[in-house]
A and B are shown apart, each in its own frame.
Chain A
Amino acid sequence: MINDSLYFKTLYVEHNNWLKRWLQGRLGCHESAADFAQDTFIRLMTTTRKVQFDSGNEARAYLKKTAKNLCINRWRQQEIERAWIETLQCTSEELHPSPEHQVAVLAALEQLSQLLERLPEKTARAFMLAIVCDLTDQQVANEMGISDRMVRKHVAKAMLACARLSIQNTVHTLLE
């Protein structure tokens, strides 16, 4: 769904230069500031959410927030992709997973990065051992020096965080 184009034009005229300047002040790069500002407006234009602001300040606060999220998401993708390429460079080519598999790996890594930043250290470790390495509760418990019961607690906590994150992301995607 596309929002009312006249209203959108007004928003663009009134705030685009301001947003570019704001981003440039933070990113220090004219081109990426222009890119991110552009993307922010595209997102605003194509969101299915009803966009209507009561004041210029409210519009700017929303634009700032959206632009920040875009920056973080893109940086995360770039960082993950780079880390993955580094990993591939350290392994011989015949051991490289298939391209399809690699796409899945990148998506999983991105999700993992988002998840791990939301988890306390021990929960994150338990999640890695239990879910990513597929160890049994007992093995995780031995590895971490905690009880089986605690392993289950950590895993449950991590999976709940994962579900909340996924729902949040899905809602974002659908509103795009």
Chain B
Amino acid sequence: MTQQSSVCDLTKEVPDSLLLEAAEWFAVLRDGRASSVEREGWQIWLATSDQHFFAWQYIEQLHSNFSSLKSCAQPDDIFQKITVVNRRLISRRKFLSSIGLVSLGALIGSSVLNNQSGSLPWIVFMPDIRTGKGEIQNHSLADGTALWVNTRSKLNLHQGVDSRIQLFSGEILIDSIKADPVPIYIDTRLAIINSATKVCFSVYCDQNKAIITVFEGDVQMTIASDSTVQSLHTGQMLTLHSDGRSEKASTDANRRNWIQGSFTANRISLGTLLHELERYYSGFISVSPAVSDLEVYGNFPIQDMNTVIKMLESTLPVKASRPLPGWIKIEAIKTV
């Protein structure tokens, strides 16, 4: 199993004092109103060494982690909710550090805690296999079946007389066409998918939906909401929503193209394309509304954003800039 280790060396390579300097420069430049003297100072600082640049990138990357919050609920609301969550955690933490509850206390504690935590058995915090952003893994199961794991996925894998996969989030592709397969079960929150024959299919799941796509062979599935059993055959794709709705369609090739590292755009909007590719890009991509509806065609390499940008710039009236490392901004070419 591969592990990303690039950041692991960070503590050794970038001393705390450099991170502080990077954070200070970030605070100066953040709102885009720094003076030219300040900007020059930053450029000089940045060019001092690779370490300086690395520290800067690290801070910048952290900043982009919070970008998803900008478009959602009221920040004040977030602030308040997090404050409440943290306060509750403090009191729960105290339980852990206490000497222990006596039996009566244990009973009360039990009901309080059960009530507080609710039943969310699908929260996973230590999966067997986990991929980072942009990472695609290929595993070979004991029976020769290929298991592909797409970007940002979490799953557990048990192998015995059959193969069992608990897919918590993300996307996998199972290919047992060339294998002598044992039965396989894929457990998602919305359905359990299984097959005992040679098959090639993919399963995508997130909090709200699961998408099962069969490229070759047959799969059966038991739908969690009503315990009905359905079959899917070559060329079929089923989307299950957590509210119980479902839709059948024909196969979307992009549910498999990722194992080749590509995404095929066929008359989709630029905004949609970049939204898809952002799943693989560990940074932030912004598209100006003026160009986000442009239609795009072609095969795009999902793990190479630089090439994608070049392709877009050569075929569409757009230009890309990088206001800060990790941030790609796509706008219309200004006509004079």
Contact A159 B63 (CB under 8 A): yes
Interface residue from B5, B79, B207 paired with A174 (Cβ < 8 Å): B5
B299 at the A interface (CB under 8 A): no
Candidates A72, A87, A133; contact of B81 at CB < 8 Å: A87
Cβ-based interface call for A99 (8 A):
yes
Contact (Cβ within 8 A) A128 B31: no
Interface size on B, residues (CB 8 A): 74
Q: Which of A3-11, A55-63, A105-113 is near enough to bind chain B?
A: A105-113
- A91 on the B face (CB < 8 A): yes
Q: Tell me which of A112, A113, A156, A166 contacts B26 (CB under 8 A).
A: A156
A136 sits at the interface (CB 8 A): yes
- Let me know if A29 is at the binding interface, CB within 8 A: yes
The distance in angstroms between the C-alpha atoms of A166 and B63, with both chains bound, is: 11
Given contacts A42-B126, A103-B206, contact A136 B3 (CB under 8 A): no
Q: Establish whether residues B100 and A25, one from each chain, have CB atoms under 8 Å apart when the complex forms.
A: yes
Asked if B23 is an interface residue, CB under 8 A from chain A, the answer is yes
On whether A28 and B24 interact (CB within 8 A), knowing A70-B125, A113-B86, A136-B31, the answer reads no
Interface contact A80-B85, CB-CB below 8 Å: yes
CA distance A74 to B279 in the complex (A): 25
Cα distance, A167 to B16, chains bound together (Å): 11
Q: Contact flags (1/0) for A36-74 with B, using CB distance below 8 Å?
A: 000100110010000000000000000000001011111
Q: List 22 A-B contacts (CB under 8 A).
A: A26-B100, A28-B105, A39-B126, A43-B126, A68-B97, A75-B117, A78-B123, A79-B88, A83-B84, A87-B73, A97-B72, A108-B69, A112-B66, A113-B82, A113-B85, A116-B82, A116-B83, A138-B33, A155-B30, A159-B27, A159-B62, A163-B62
Interface residues of B (CB under 8 A from A): 3-5, 7-8, 10-11, 16, 19-20, 22-24, 26-28, 30-31, 33, 58-59, 62-63, 65-66, 68-73, 75, 77-79, 81-86, 88-90, 92-93, 95-98, 100-101, 105-110, 113-114, 117-118, 120, 123, 125-126, 152, 169, 206-209, 275, 279
Which 4 residue pairs across A and B have the least CB separation, nearest first? A28-B109, A25-B100, A104-B68, A159-B23
